[in-house]
Structure 1
Amino acid sequence: MAGRVIAIDGPAASGKSTVARSVASAVGFLFVSSGHFYRALAWGTVVEGIPDEKLNDWVTESPLTVEDKENTISLLLDGKDATPHLSDPEVAAKVSQIATFPCMRDFVNSRLHALAEERDLVMEGRDIGSVVFPATPWKFYLDASPEERARRRARQGDEDPIAERDRLDSTRVTAPLVIPEGSIVIDTTHLSLEQVVDAVIARLGNIEPLNP
């Protein structure tokens, strides 16, 4: 039986990951970040020195595997856990570029759909409700002021510049960042984590995991 997907989209540092992880824990779904897939792939291309013209061949034979861990997943490249490297400066500098390549997006989307065939998911990203799972009835778009998002990024120690990331995400030809049709927009600028999570859960109704 195919699982259900709660889609949480938004720009960088809008609170997507933290909120999605908390919502997944609350409703008993699996937390998945599409951004982690792109960052894992970016890390792989950096480590292996893959040039842009070889990306299609590389990702077609990509050794990326998914390991289910309780209510989240780990991404492995050649058996090595990519998680400790997802916020490396080299990865932060590369990930937006990687995400512009259709071969990369096709690869990630195929993996996300495969996960959704097996599990109920809370999935966060930038095109989950608009491209990857547009038919899901549970679509949320989180946003915050650029200033607040820059502060959050700085607290995380991430060197990914907000303004440049926004520009790249919103202007790329393939799956640009948009507010998905039918999504519930939540401005998180002045809200606590608990307030945002409560706002999302309140709109889900009596949702329980069908296939934990």
Structure 2
Amino acid sequence: MIVVIDGPAGSGKSSTAKAVAANLQIQFLDSGALYRVATLVYLNSREHNRSFFEQLEESEISFYFKKEKFHAFLNGQDVTEEIRSMDVSDHVSEVASDPKVRAYINDLMRKAVKQDVYIADGRDLGTAVFPDAELKFYMIADLDTRAERRYNEIKGSDPEVTLEEIRKNIAQRDEKDSNRDSDPLKKADDAIEVNTSDMTFEDQVAFISKVIRKELSKQIKK
């Protein structure tokens, strides 16, 4: 079973999905982190003057979820913190908009969820990657709220970053993600919208957990 949470950057979908996964004892898949790993491959290929796609196809991307943290690895090296840098953030929308990259990451995710119950977050999971997902959520929040959340998330690993830089980056990503030709950011017709601007974190986790529990109960009775 796969449950998806889509939404723009900083809407709270990743932190919420992780908390829901821990709360319900199910698996978590962070699609955004996987695109960030691909972006890291892109930056490395540019630095070493190599073909990006050639290097991506030769790379081994792996991951696991433990103690409410999604750990990402590139060729056996833990890059969980590195992929949250501003350099990666500045290029991830550009890399993620490429149809070849999307096909590569989508295939990686579809293979991962064939077993067990997963909750995944992203921008086009409910429309492009998992259109038949049992449950779909679409999380939104105003730009200032999202910028502050993202700033609090990364300031520890990148102390020189400013709130205004984060706000500008998110606004640019909104524009790129919503207008890209390949699988743009949009709400699936059958998704449940969750506006988190005025919700506490505990409230949004509790709401989504309740809906999933109900669906899991229905699946068990089948």
| TM-score, reference length from structure 2 | 0.85
1:11-160 equivalences in 2 (<5 Å)? 11-49=8-46, 54-67=51-64, 69=66, 73-156=70-153, 157=155, 159-160=165-166
Give the letter aligned to residue 189 of structure 2.
E
Structure 2: runs of 5+ lacking an equivalent: 156-160
Partner of 1:184: 192
Find runs of 4+ consecutive structure 1 residues off by over 4 angstroms: 50-53, 67-73
| Counterpart selection for 2:216 from 190, 199, 207 | 207
Structure 1: runs of 5+ lacking an equivalent: none
Instruction: String of CA shifts for 1:58-108, please: whole Å, max 9, x gaps.
Output: 222222233464676532212111101121121111111110111111111
Q: Which structure: greater helix fraction?
A: 2
Check the 8 A contact 2:41/2:52 in 1, yes or no: no
Q: Assess, with a 3 A threshold, how the Cα gap between structure 1 residues 21 and 68 changes in structure 2: closer, same or farther.
A: closer
2:197 alignment partner, SS class: coil
Q: Percent identity?
A: 29
1:156-171 equivalences in 2 (<5 Å)? 156=153, 157=155, 159-160=165-166, 161-171=169-179
> Which stretch has the larger CA shift, 168-177 or 155-164?
155-164
Question: Does 1:8 find its partner at 2:5?
Answer: yes
1:76 alignment partner, SS class: strand
RMSD of aligned Cα (Å): 2.3
Q: Assess, with a 3 A threshold, how the Cα gap between structure 1 residues 194 and 77 changes in structure 2: closer, same or farther.
A: same
Q: Assess, with a 3 A threshold, how the Cα gap between structure 1 residues 52 and 164 changes in structure 2: closer, same or farther.
A: farther
How many residues are treated as equivalent by the alignment? Answer: 207
Q: CA deviation at 1:153?
A: 2.3
Q: Assess, with a 3 A threshold, how the Cα gap between structure 1 residues 72 and 20 changes in structure 2: closer, same or farther.
A: same
